[in-house]
Amino acid sequence: MQNNRLLKISTAGSRKATHWQENAILWSEFTEKLKMPVRSTETMEEYLAMPKSRQAELKDVGGYVGGTLEGGRRKASCVSGRDLITLDLDSIPAGQTLDILKRVSGLGCAAMVYSTRKHTGYAPRLRVVIPLDRAATADEYEPAARKLASLIGMQYCDPTTFEASRLMYWGSCCSDGEYVAEVYDSPFCSTDGLLAMYGDWTDDSQWPQVPGSEAIEKRRLAKQEDPTAKRGVIGAFCRTYTVTQAMDKFIPGIYEETDVPGRYTYTGGSTQGGAVVYDGDLFLYSHHATDPCSGLLVNAFDLVRLHKYGDQDVDAKEGTPNNKLPSFMSMSRLALDDKAVSDRMSKERFENAKEAFAAGNILQTGQETDGDMDTSWVYSLTKDASGRFEKTINNAVIILENDPLLKGRIVTDEFASCGMVLGRVPWDERDEKRRWKDVDDAGFYRYMETFYGLTGRDKLDNALLLVSSKNRINDVKRYLQGLEWDGQKRLEGLLADYLGAEDNEYTHAVMRKSLCAAVARAAAGGVKFDYMPIFVGPQGIGKSTFLSVLGKEWFSDSLTTFEGKEAAELIQGTWINEVGELTAFTKQETQVIKQFLSKTDDIYRAAYGKRAEKYPRHCVFFGTSNDTEFLKDATGNRRFWPVDVGVHKATKSIWEDLPKEVDQIWAEAYMYWQMGEKLFLPKEIEHLAEAAQKEHRESSGKEGLILEYLEKPLPANWNSMKLMDRRTYLNGNMKVPEGAGLVPRMSVCAVEIWVECFGGDPRYMQRRDSTEINNILMGIPGWEKERTPRKYGDYGSQRGFHRQTTIT
C-alpha cells in the first residue's frame, strides 16, 4: 500500500464496555483486519428471523471509534480527535452496491468499504471508512463527515451516523452471507479541504442534512412525553423552568443566543447555532459534537443534569435506568433544594389532596389556601433522590404538626384515655369533636399516601401516637379551671335542698367529700378515693337526674359489671357514674364492687393495643337504691356512705334550679380541693356513717333470736351443764334454785348457737350456716371475735366471740 500512516483509534470487546482502549494502528493493518470477517453458524434467513436483541449480540464482535477518547469514555464530550470518518449507508436501493463502490472510488481519496451484518444484494448495507490527513477535532468532525457524505449521497446515510462518538463494529457475517471488502489506495482525505468547502463550517445551518431528517426530529418530538405533564421532581422542575430559563439560572454562560430565534451556540465548542430549542421552549436538541447534550433531545431537567452532573455517570453500568444514575440523584437534590420548585410541589400536592378528598368545604372554614398557604414547613421534610418524601416517622410527625388540614386536630384526651378528632379532617367533614375510630385510621392512611406518598402503617401509627400525645386535652379540667366561685356556699346543703335528705353534718360531709374527690380525679387523675355515696329513697324523686345534671356530658349509668377489662373501659371518659339498684347484687358481687372501688387506676390492654397500660381513674361512683336494706355484709361496709333521701320535702328543683347552680357547685368544690380538702370523713362523723351503714344492712330473721340468746342470763354452773339441761333452761322449763345466782354470757361460738339456739345437729351444720351466724355476731355491738381458738366444752376447740368488758 503506497498511502499509509499511523492512525489512532479506540477499541473495545463489546458495545457495553465502559472503557475504550486507545490504539495506534497503520491504515494498512486496519484494512487487513476488516477484510477478515467473523463468520457465525446461522444463515441469513435464520439471522433475520431472530429478535433484535439476539441480532445485536451476534453482530457485537467488538468495535472501534475512529479516534481518541478522553479517559476511555465513549461520550460526545470525551471525543478529543478523529482520524477516521465512518459512515453507515443503510438506505441503498436494491442492487446498487457497485454504484456505491464507484461513488467512493470517484472521491479520489483513500477509503475502505465493507458490508454490515444485514447486507444482502437486494438490501445493501455498507460502511464507508475514510482516513484523514490530520485528526479532526470533535467540532470539526460532524461538518467534515456530512460534507463527505454529501459527495457520496446523503440520501443513503443513517441520520445518526455523523456522531463523533459513534462506534462501528468490526466485520462479521452469517454463514451464507455475502461480505464486501474493498480498499482504495489513494491519498488521504484533507480535513481542511472538506471544511473549506463551506462558507462557514461552524454554521450548522450550512451542513448537509439527510433527506427526511426534519420529519425524524418531528417524530422524535411527538414521541416525547410532555415534560410538564410528568409526575415527581422532573415534572415540577419543567413546570417551573423552561429550557431557556433553566439555562439562565443553572448553567449561565454555557449557551449563547444567536440572531436566529430558537438557536443557541454551545460556548464550549467551535461550531455555531447548533443548539435548537423546540416545542415552545420545552426541549433542546444539540448538534454540537462536544456538547454533553450532543445528539440528544432533552428537557430542562435533563439539560441541567447532563451539564452539571453528567460526569458522575462514568462508572454507571450499561442499561442503568436514568432515574438510577448518579447524575439523576444529584440533579434531583438540586431541584428539591430550589425554593420555586419545592413551593410548586407543595402547592400541587395540596391541590391534589383537595380534589382527592373533596376538601373544598373544609377549606371554606377559614383555612389558608392557594397563594396564601404557608408551605415553608415543607422544606423540613426529607426526600429521596426522586423527589418523593421519605417514608419516615419524622416526616409524618412534621406533616401532622404543620399540614393545615391536620394541624391541631388530632389529640389525646387524657380524661377519656383515647384519641380524639377536633373538627373536620380531609376524610370526614363533620365539624364536631369525636373519638378517633378505625375509619379515621383508614382515612388518615389514604390521605398520607395520596397527598404525601407516605405508606407503612406502623410508622404512621407511631407518628400519630407521638403527635397526639404531645397535644393533650382534658375538657373537665379545663371546665373546672374556667369557673369562678361567687363565694356562696351551696355544696354541703345539696342533698337536703334537692333530694330532701336530713340537713346534718353527715349529709354535708358526704356531698363535700364526694364532689371534691370528683374534682381531684378529673384534674389530677388516680387520686385515692374508695368510697361510694348511696342515695336511698323512693322512686321518682330525681336521684338519677340529680347525678346526671351534676355529671353533665360526662355522666354515665352504663356500668353494669365490675370485673375485667370491660368494666375498666366502660368508665373511660366518664366523671360521675351511677350504680343503680344495689339490692340486685349478691354478697359476692358486693365484694367485687368493694375491690373495684379501692382501685386508683386500671391496667389492661386496649383493643388493638400492643401492651397493657395503666389508666388513672378520672371518675367517682354514686349508688342509688329504692330499698332500704341493700348492704349484704354484716361488717366491712366502710366504703359505702348511705344517705336517706326523700325524708323531707326538697326546697329546690332538680329540673329547674340545679342546672342554673351546677357551675357554681363545681366552682365551690374546685376551690375546696385547691385548699387541700381531705377526701375522707372526719373522726367525729365516722360514727354517723357507721350508724347509717348498720341501718341499711340487710337484716336476717335469725339476728333477733341470736341477740335474745346472747342476752339471756345463765346459771353460774352453765359450763358444766349437759346439752339437755341447757335446752331445758333455754326453753324456760328449768327453775334455777334460789341463791344459785345468774350471770351474763361472756363467750359463744357459732356451733353452740346452731345447736342450742336453733336446735340443730352439729353433724348437719354447713359452712354457709356458720358463716351466717358469725356475720350476725360480728354485727352485734359489744361482741368481739376471738383471735385464737379455745375449748368450748362438748363443741371442742372453736374460734368464737367474747363479750367486751367495756362497750364503746
Residue found under cell 487487513:
32
Q: 151 or 385, which is more confident? A: 151
How many other CB atoms sit within 10 Å of the CB of residue 130?
A: 25
pLDDT at residue 584, as a whole number: 56
Least confident range from 66-70, 398-402, 478-482, 713-717: namely 713-717
Residue 344 banded pLDDT, cuts 50, 70, 90? confident
DSSP string, 729-787: HHTT--PPPTTS-EE---EE-HHHHHHHTT---GGG--HHHHHHHHHHHHTSTTEEE-S
Average pLDDT, the chain: 89
594 contacts 639 by C-beta, under 8 angstroms = yes
Q: Does the pLDDT of residue 698 top 80, yes or no?
A: no
pLDDT at residue 556, as a whole number: 95
Percent of the chain with pLDDT over 70: 92
DSSP string, 101-166: HHHHHTT-S-EEEEE-TT--SSS--EEEEEEEEEEEPHHHHHHHHHHHHHHH-GGGB-TTTT-TT-
pLDDT at residue 636, as a whole number: 66
pLDDT at residue 385, as a whole number: 67
E strands, 138-241, are 168-169, 172-173, 181-184
Residue 529 banded pLDDT, cuts 50, 70, 90? very high
Q: Does the pLDDT of residue 215 top 80, yes or no?
A: no
Q: What is the pLDDT of residues 580-607, one digit of tens each?
A: 876 556 677 788 888 999 999 988 876 5
pLDDT at residue 732, as a whole number: 84
How would you classify the pairing of strands 640-644 and 532-536? parallel
The predicted model gives 89-95 an average pLDDT of: 94
* Rounded (5°) CA angle 128-132-135: 125
pLDDT at residue 364, as a whole number: 39
Q: What is the pLDDT of residues 408-424, one digit of tens each?
A: 999 999 998 889 999 99
The predicted model gives 342-369 an average pLDDT of: 61
Q: What's this model's pTM, rounded to 2 decimal places?
A: 0.59
pLDDT at residue 290, as a whole number: 85
Could you tell me which of 88, 101, 271, 83 has the C-alpha nearest to residue 189? 83
Q: What is the pLDDT of residues 723-756, one digit of tens each?
A: 988 988 988 888 876 656 789 999 999 999 999 9
Which helix (H) or strand (E) segment holds residue 446: the answer is helix 438-447
84: helix, strand or coil: strand
pLDDT at residue 240, as a whole number: 96
Residue 807 banded pLDDT, cuts 50, 70, 90? very low
Q: What is the pLDDT of residues 771-790, one digit of tens each?
A: 889 888 888 888 999 999 99
Percent of the chain with pLDDT over 90: 65
pLDDT at residue 456, as a whole number: 94
What does the chain come to in residues?
808
pLDDT at residue 287, as a whole number: 85
Measured CA distances, 600 to 118, 340, 527, 591, 627 (Å)? 90, 56, 6, 17, 29
pLDDT at residue 361, as a whole number: 45
Q: How many angstroms separate the CA atoms of 468 and 410, rounded?
A: 6
What would the CATH number be for the domain defined by 494-695?
A: 3.40.50
Q: What is the pLDDT of residues 363-378, one digit of tens each?
A: 434 444 444 567 778 8
Residue found under cell 378520672:
618
pLDDT at residue 219, as a whole number: 63
Where do the structural domains in the chain lie, given as residue ranges?
6-211, 215-336, 340-473, 494-695, 701-803
Q: What is the pLDDT of residues 141-173, one digit of tens each?
A: 999 999 999 999 999 999 889 999 999 999 999
Q: Does the pLDDT of residue 667 top 60, yes or no?
A: yes
Q: Does the pLDDT of residue 388 top 70, yes or no?
A: yes
Instruction: For residue 335, give the C-alpha cell.
Output: 431541584
Could you tell me which of 450, 428, 423 has the C-alpha nearest to residue 439? 428
